[in-house]
């Protein structure tokens, strides 16, 4: 679809150029392209105030719907923990017996019994049940922390995508201004016959790519804004702008340091550890199944008329006999022990997954850092020097317009590649922090968020 649109646009421009060229020798086929560049590069500014990364992360932690959902699950787990260790409700019972069928209305001949009953689990069982429920609360809290880390990493990625897009638009505007200056010089040379029509058409094709590139930048910016707004719990179409800088670290931590950091900070590992402790408590509770539970009852009785004692009481104690059902309790213990073994294996697996994530994120971050250093220290200065040389040669009529455009496009590609590499490095660092569960202690190099294209001008002599 994009290719068809570009072909239609180019066809219209080509027809316009040929028609103007056929009318008179003084017509200007580059005028339409200059007007097109001017029109396309008037993109609107966001009406909202720019937000920093810290502000976005704070807004996401308070407004993200996934985090709110996890907070509700913690509240549910805490409520269950409060009820898990409580006693069962006491029971009240009334019983009337011995009423003659011949005189069912005569309650003086009925024996009335008022009973109070309370079930009592064996010693230590209530505390173990509360401990098991509390372990579930700890698991939910660890899951919430893991979700916060995930949201924070996604916010950082979307932030740097949008920051990169804003910087690319500024760079693109600078390159468009340079292209318009070159077009003005080409217009002068075309009028005096120094530029053939074939070169003009090739120049138009090259310049059309600037418009194509702007369309893609605007699309990427809209998508990054939509992702960021969604993470903040806002309408995806809401206007949003960011401010910040790229701050690649001088060095990256070693793999061993990152693994040690993950073992003490990764929420998934903390959740797996809590699950193991919960299983161990379950084993203790299953072992308590060999101890009996109790049921206490006390009652007041009113005897029928004529009884020697009309007011009496009753006390009752019942005890379970678990040793008569030992096979069931042994099976419960074996099941709990198997669950603990499964949770320990789950921890080992989770740790292996965490170490793999750290390894892959570190490799990507190291590669991205090498690319950032390469673009910043070598390719960018070389491309800028090449563009300056081409601009000077073109002004002195030592090269043609196409060579100037080629130098300009090379500089644009290098600058865009640098911004993408810097953004990719920040995304990889976000993955690395997500994998370790803690922020990295960065030793920052000089910030570099501004485009060094302010001096890339092509002054046209008059």
Q: What is the pLDDT of residues 446-462, one digit of tens each?
A: 444 444 443 444 333 33
Task: Calculate what percentage of the chain has a pLDDT beyond 70.
Answer: 80
Q: What is the pLDDT of residue 3?
A: 40
Q: What is the mean pLDDT of residues 73-97?
A: 89
Classified as helix, coil or strand, 51 is strand
Task: Tell whether the model's pLDDT for residue 355 goes beyond 90.
Answer: yes
Q: How buried is residue 193: exposed, middle or buried, by Cβ count under 10 Å (0-12/13-18/19+)?
A: exposed
Report how far residue 33's alpha carbon sits from residue 457's, in angstroms, rounded to the nearest whole number: 19
Question: Where is pLDDT greater, at 147 or 37?
Answer: 147
- Token digits for 417? 């590649």
Second CATH level (architecture) for the domain 62-86+132-290+348-436: Up-down Bundle (1.20)
Report how far residue 441's alpha carbon sits from residue 109's, in angstroms, rounded to the nearest whole number: 87
- Token digits for 396? 């002195």
Residue 24 per-residue DSSP state: -
Question: Where is pLDDT greater, at 453 or 79?
Answer: 79
Task: Tell whether the model's pLDDT for residue 440 goes beyond 50.
Answer: yes
pLDDT in tens, 123-164: 999 999 999 999 999 999 999 999 999 999 999 999 999 998
Q: What is the pLDDT of residue 31?
A: 56
Name the residue among 407, 392, 35 with its Cα closest to residue 187. 35
pLDDT band at residue 42 under the 50/70/90 scheme: low
Residue 449: CB atoms within 10 Å: 15
Question: Where is pLDDT greater, at 460 or 93?
Answer: 93
Which residues lie closer than 8 Å to 248 by C-beta, 6 or more apart? 369, 372, 422, 425, 426, 444, 445, 448
Across the chain, what does the average pLDDT equal? Answer: 81
Task: Tell whether the model's pLDDT for residue 103 goes beyond 80.
Answer: yes
Please give the C-alpha separations between residue 98 and each of 73, 110, 179, 297, 309, in angstroms, as whole numbers: 54, 5, 110, 21, 16
Question: Where is pLDDT greater, at 449 or 92?
Answer: 92
Report pTM.
Answer: 0.75
Distance of CA 44 to the CA centre of its chain: 28
Q: What is the pLDDT of residue 38?
A: 52
Apex CA 316: angle with CA 311 and CA 318, to 5°? 170
3-state class percentages of the chain: helix first, strand second, coil last, to nearest 5? 70, 10, 25
Name the residue among 460, 35, 414, 46 with its Cα closest to residue 224. 46
106-115, 228-237, 356-365: least confident range: 106-115
pLDDT band at residue 8 under the 50/70/90 scheme: very low
Q: How buried is residue 64: exposed, middle or buried, by Cβ count under 10 Å (0-12/13-18/19+)?
A: buried
What is the crossing angle of helices 125-191 and 401-436, to 10°?
170
Which residues lie closer than 8 Å to 76 by C-beta, 6 or more apart? none
Classified as helix, coil or strand, 249 is strand
């Amino acid at each position: 679809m994009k290719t068809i649109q570009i072909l239609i646009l180019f066809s219209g421009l080509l027809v316009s150029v040929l028609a103007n060229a056929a009318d008179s020798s003084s017509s200007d086929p580059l005028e339409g392209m200059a007007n097109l560049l001017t029109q396309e590069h008037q993109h609107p500014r966001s009406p909202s105030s720019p937000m920093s990364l810290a502000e976005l992360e704070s807004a996401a932690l308070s407004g993200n719907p996934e985090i709110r959902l996890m907070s509700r699950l913690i509240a549910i787990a805490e409520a269950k923990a409060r009820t898990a260790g409580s006693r069962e409700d006491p029971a009240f019972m009334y019983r009337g017996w011995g009423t003659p069928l011949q005189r069912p209305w005569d309650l003086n001949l009925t024996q009335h019994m008022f009973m109070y009953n309370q079930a009592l689990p064996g010693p230590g069982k209530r505390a173990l049940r509360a401990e098991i429920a509390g372990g579930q609360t700890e698991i939910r809290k660890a899951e919430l922390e893991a979700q916060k880390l995930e949201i924070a990493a996604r916010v950082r990625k979307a932030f740097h995508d949008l920051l990169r897009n804003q910087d690319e638009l500024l760079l693109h505007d600078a390159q468009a201004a340079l292209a318009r200056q070159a077009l003005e010089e080409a217009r002068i040379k075309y009028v005096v016959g120094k530029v053939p029509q074939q070169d003009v058409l090739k120049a138009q094709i090259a310049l059309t790519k600037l418009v194509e590139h702007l369309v893609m930048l605007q699309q990427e910016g809209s998508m990054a804004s939509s992702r960021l707004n969604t993470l903040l719990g806002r309408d995806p179409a809401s206007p949003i702008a960011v401010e910040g800088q790229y701050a690649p670290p001088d060095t990256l931590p070693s793999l061993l340091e990152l693994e040690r950091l993950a073992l003490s900070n990764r929420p998934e590992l903390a959740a797996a550890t809590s699950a193991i402790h919960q299983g161990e408590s379950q084993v203790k509770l299953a072992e308590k199944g060999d101890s009996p539970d109790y049921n206490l009852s006390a009652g007041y009785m009113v005897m029928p008329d004529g009884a020697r004692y009309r007011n009496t009481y009753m006390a009752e104690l019942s005890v379970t006999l678990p040793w008569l059902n030992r096979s069931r309790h042994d099976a419960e213990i074996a099941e709990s022990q198997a669950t603990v073994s499964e949770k320990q294996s789950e921890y080992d697996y989770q740790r292996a997954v965490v170490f793999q994530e750290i390894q892959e994120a570190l490799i990507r971050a190291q590669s991205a850092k090498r690319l950032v250093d390469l673009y910043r220290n070598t390719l960018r200065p070389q491309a800028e020097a090449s563009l300056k040389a081409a601009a000077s040669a073109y002004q002195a009529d030592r090269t043609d317009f196409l060579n100037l455009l080629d130098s300009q496009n090379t500089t644009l590609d290098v600058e865009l590649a640098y911004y993408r590499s810097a953004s990719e490095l920040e995304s990889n660092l976000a993955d690395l922090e997500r994998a370790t569960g803690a922020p990295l202690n960065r030793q920052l190099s000089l910030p570099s968020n501004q485009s060094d294209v302010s001096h890339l001008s092509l002054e046209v002599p008059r």
